[in-house]
Structure 1
Amino acid sequence: MSHTEPIYRTTPARTAKMMAIMCGVCIAGGILFFAFWDYWISMPPGNQMTGPAAPPAVATGKTIPVTLRFVESSDFRTLAFNALPGQEGHNPDIQANVGDKVTFDVTNGGISFHSFGVTPATEGFGSILAGTEIGSASNPLKPNESGKSEFIPTSEGTFYYICTVPGHRELGMEGKIIVGPKAAAPTAAAPTGVKHDFNLDFVESSDFRTLAFNALPNEQGHNPDVTVKSGDSVTIKSTNNGVSFHSFGIVTNPDDPSSVVWNSAIGSATKPLKPHESGQVTFTAGAPGTYYYICTVPGHAALGMKGSFIVE
């Protein structure tokens, strides 16, 4: 049986209505996207989606430097740090308190490949704490290569520094970090009357993959350490010399932009300095300790906008 009249699945009027709706949705989406353009360009590539922030580690101001060296027995059946079993200095225990900063300077003194990290796990090579890694199993330290990392414990207990190459911990590359309770917090001194002025300007690499203050890595003036005394008056002046948006603050935890202290903020993530804008803030340095100055736009400190602010 055949039809002599065409069969319409819809009508021209309905088609036109549907097209009008689709165009309206596209226009509305475009308006929303460009309305938030400043936000999109303020975020570095790969950092638009972030997980929950790590719990803040409140620094005590005490730094514990630790030098470690991967060593191996001649038959490679025994691995260790600094010295083989039975020798002085073998896998030294590290004593620290909550809030202390343990800094690691690690060198591969063996002929194999090794990598480093701190973990609360009593066995295996997982659960490595962020910021403590030096290399990885897939990108280890080659013989004679070295690296640095740090660990600020936020809780009491026993942690372990290990080689994170599978099997190396079991062969002996494991040491303990024994963390006690936090010591009494230092208190801020009365105002000293001493005044300091610092310029900390935002700079960016051309591909926006490296951010910094004053100068890029390996250039003179890169992320300078700032040292003052408790009770000193500090004025920070910042100019945005980049093409993105930035904001400033002194924080207790460089991974937590919300941990700003002493009303030291210049702008904020929601109200940052635009390109070529400047700002300044004056505050009194608080309790002695190691703090950090960072860009408080999420992700920017991780790309290099971070320096040490030390209060003595």
Structure 2
Amino acid sequence: MKALLMVAALCGMVGFGTPAFAEHPESSSDVKYVPDVTFTLRTDIADGRLVYVSEKGPTKGEVNPDLRVEEGAVVQINIVNGDGALHDFAVPDFEVKSDEISGKGSATAIVFKANKDGTFEYLCTLPGHKAAGMVGKLIVGDPKEQAGAQEKDLSKDPHDVGEPVGDRGPKNVTVDLETTEVVGRVSDGSSYKFWTFNNTVPGPMIRVRVGDTVTVNMKNSEESSHIHSVDFHAVTGPGGGAAVTQAAPGQAKSFSFKALTPGLYVYHCATPMVAQHITNGMYGMILVEPEGGLSEVDREFYVMQGELYTAQRHGSAGLQEFSLDKMLDERPEHMMFNGAMDALTATHKMESDVGDNVRIFFGVGGPNLVSSFHVIGEIFDKVYDQASLTSAPLTDVQTTLVPPGGATMVEFVTEYPGKYILVDHALSRAEKGLVGILKVNGEADPEIFESSELVDENSGH
């Protein structure tokens, strides 16, 4: 208690009040609470984003600086309110969170012991503030050894939409799928052992024509630890193919089917526990184009929504582990488009030009949550509801519902330049990583939109 009072007194002398502590005194006399290292961060607004700015030391002036400490160090982080809004500061992996502060010049502090090495997230926990930019890294120990930092990128490029069928007649088509189990990147510093079709999440977009005879060859990698299979929602037959493709590691299975009905369909692994195989990344889509093919557009994109249920909380570093309890409770820690939390914001660039007609093939792998698919700042000119390509499309739609294991096809003309954000309009999911960006290039038309204000490209994200 004497050590705690000493730190509290030091904080009070510099105007930071009583700090929040991550751990309490132990009986051992060698536990130290006087800080080994101290950082001071100021809340601010930079380039339209809410941020933390370093006030002292070698990181002075840096936005959301990396805070580097030795393992075992007692760390004090002072927070000064520089923008007058309500904020707090937390390092969830060390179970420490400050009081809320409001008003310019107000301050608070946290003190904790960095008793485990790794890369950890610090952030403002107020709703929307992390997404607006108030997030950074606390690096404990040697950053070169942080798990997940260099893991393989398994995210799917949204441009990989396959070749349009055009006006060709029916033919025989062969689809080769390999099921794999591989550690891949979730976000910077975090990873997960995904189960995949052809080493991407989602798997490949398959494109055929109504009337085609499709032969599916599915091989389960010799390096797998589990049985896998494939169920195509486009298949009329036992289990959508899953009843004949249950393959042990190293086995290969095949079947053929006639593509009887046009539409955009999900496929996924259907080996028990089916939901686990899906959440781990085993989903994709097959497009069965109608006779004559789809109409021509300028841009096409392949986007799928998925969920990860991990024992570790969202934002944790290192290798994430699957949580059966969270999956059964339908409480995902991470949500993503195309296999990673920044797949469609940083890794892959979705772009169009003013005047382009854009088509998005959108599906939900799930396994559990319904999506309210929306593009902020755009209106869907056409929505092929439930991915029915033989029904008249809905027109002028703001947000469209897509169930797990379901799909839709949307089309719209990009009429004004800027960044347009793809979301599930259950918007708290954006805090878990479910965000994409479509950048529109070209000249602005003041008849469509005009303002003398600076554009905040982070608005809505």
Instruction: Compute the TM-score of the two structures, normalised by the length of structure 1.
Output: 0.41
Instruction: Compute the TM-score of the two structures, normalised by the length of structure 2.
Output: 0.29
Larger radius of gyration: 1
Structure with greater proportional strand content: 2
Greater RCO, 1 or 2 (C-alpha within 8 Å, sep 6+): 1
